[in-house]
Amino acid sequence: LDDPRLRGRRIIVSAGGTKERLDPVRYLTNDSSGKMGTAIANAAAGAGAEVTLVTTRQLPVVPGVTVKQVESAQSMADTIDAEFTEADAVIMAAAVADYRLPTVSDHKLKKTDATSGLTLNLVQNPDILASLGRKKTHQILIGFAAETNDLLKNAQLKLTKKNADMIVANHVDATHGFNTDTNAVTLLRPEQAPVTLPEMPKPKVAAALIEQLATMLAKQKG
Ligand code: C5P
């Protein structure tokens, strides 16, 4: 499994849904299990890369993967930023929450009365992939696009808007995407025909993705 094109390469992988806290016991999150990102980290390390997995989940990893546990989008952004300069590639498989509470309450929020509702005012989180896209030098950036409709059109837009080198487009429904064991994806790259992979277990999708990355790294400058 050792791949000379990946040996010694530094790869950052993010995984899982971020948790955006309301108070010490409550948070907003999503269905992302971290399975896809963790499978990618394991595939990359298995091929000889030095991997940092920045994750909100605790799933088993193989030797060669250093796990950095995070919770919020902001902590994920800070952890990735700290290692970005030294990285050869970043794969953003995490489902980063688009919004958070502007301030986290330090005590458990109380219910006021039985009739009035509660309004949460949210602010936007940083777009980690887009900000890496603005400051990348030699790094290869891979993002995911999970969409329920207009998948390829939206994924194509993300490729350009976030200045990514590849977008992995995956359908989200009951049997694909979030919290499932298989995935059906299409790989989009600038100025190349889309490559649709058959539906496969996530570790197989991860291996195919790492194979693509190895080819891209072999051509990478710097
Ligand atoms: O814009 P959208 O969330 O659909 O884009 C998905 C891609 O962007 C994923 O790779 C995800 O990890 C990344 N992303 C990010 N920071 C955000 C939102 C998404 O890095 N705040």
Q: Which runs of E-coded beta strand occur in 19-155?
A: 20-23, 26-28, 50-55, 65-69, 89-92, 99-100, 123-124, 140-147
Average pLDDT estimate for 79-107 = 97
Q: How far is the CA of 96 from the centre of ligand 1 (A)?
A: 6
User: Which CATH architecture fits 10-97+121-219?
Assistant: 3-Layer(aba) Sandwich (3.40)
Q: Check residue 85 and report its DSSP letter.
A: T
- pLDDT reading at 189 higher than 90: yes
User: pLDDT band for position 177 (50/70/90)?
Assistant: low
Q: Specify the residue with its C-alpha closest to ligand 1, atom 21.
A: 127
Q: Tell me the Cα Rg of the chain.
A: 18
Instruction: Confirm if 158 and 167 have CB atoms less than 8 A apart.
Output: yes
Band of residue 117 on the pLDDT scale cut at 50, 70, 90 = confident
Structure tokens at 75: 């902590």
Q: Are the beta carbons of 41 and 93 closer than 8 angstroms?
A: no
pLDDT reading at 73 higher than 90: yes
- Among this protein's residues, is 163 annotated catalytic? no
Amino acid residing at 69: Q
Q: How many Å apart are CA 138 and CA 86, to the nearest integer?
A: 10
Residues having CB closer than 6 A to ligand 1 are: 73, 92, 94, 96, 98, 125, 127-129, 143-145, 158
Give binding residues for CTP as ranges.
Answer: 98, 108, 126-129, 144, 158, 162
Q: Tens digits of per-residue pLDDT, 148-171?
A: 889 999 999 999 999 999 999 998
179 or 89: which leads in pLDDT: 89
How large is the average pLDDT for residues 119-129? Answer: 96
Q: 49 or 184, which is more confident?
A: 49
Name the pLDDT band for 180 (thresholds 50, 70, 90): confident
Residue 222 pLDDT more than 90? no
Please tell me the distance from the alpha carbon of residue 176 to that of residue 170, in angstroms, as a whole number.
8
Angle, helices 202-219 vs 35-46, to 10°: value is 50
- Single out the residue of 88, 80, 81, 3 nearest to residue 46, CA to CA: 3
Q: Give the C-alpha separation, 12 to 207, whole Å.
A: 16
3-state SS, residue 202: helix
* DSSP code, position 63: T
- The more confident residue out of 142 and 221 is 142
Q: What is the pLDDT of residue 221?
A: 55
Report the chain's mean pLDDT, rounded to a whole number: 94
ipTM: 0.97
Instruction: Cite the annotated binding site by residue number.
Output: 98, 108, 126-129, 144, 158, 162
Mean pLDDT, to the nearest integer, of 47-64? Answer: 98
Pairing type for strands 182-183 and 166-171 reads: unpaired
Map out the domains of the chain as residue ranges.
10-97+121-219
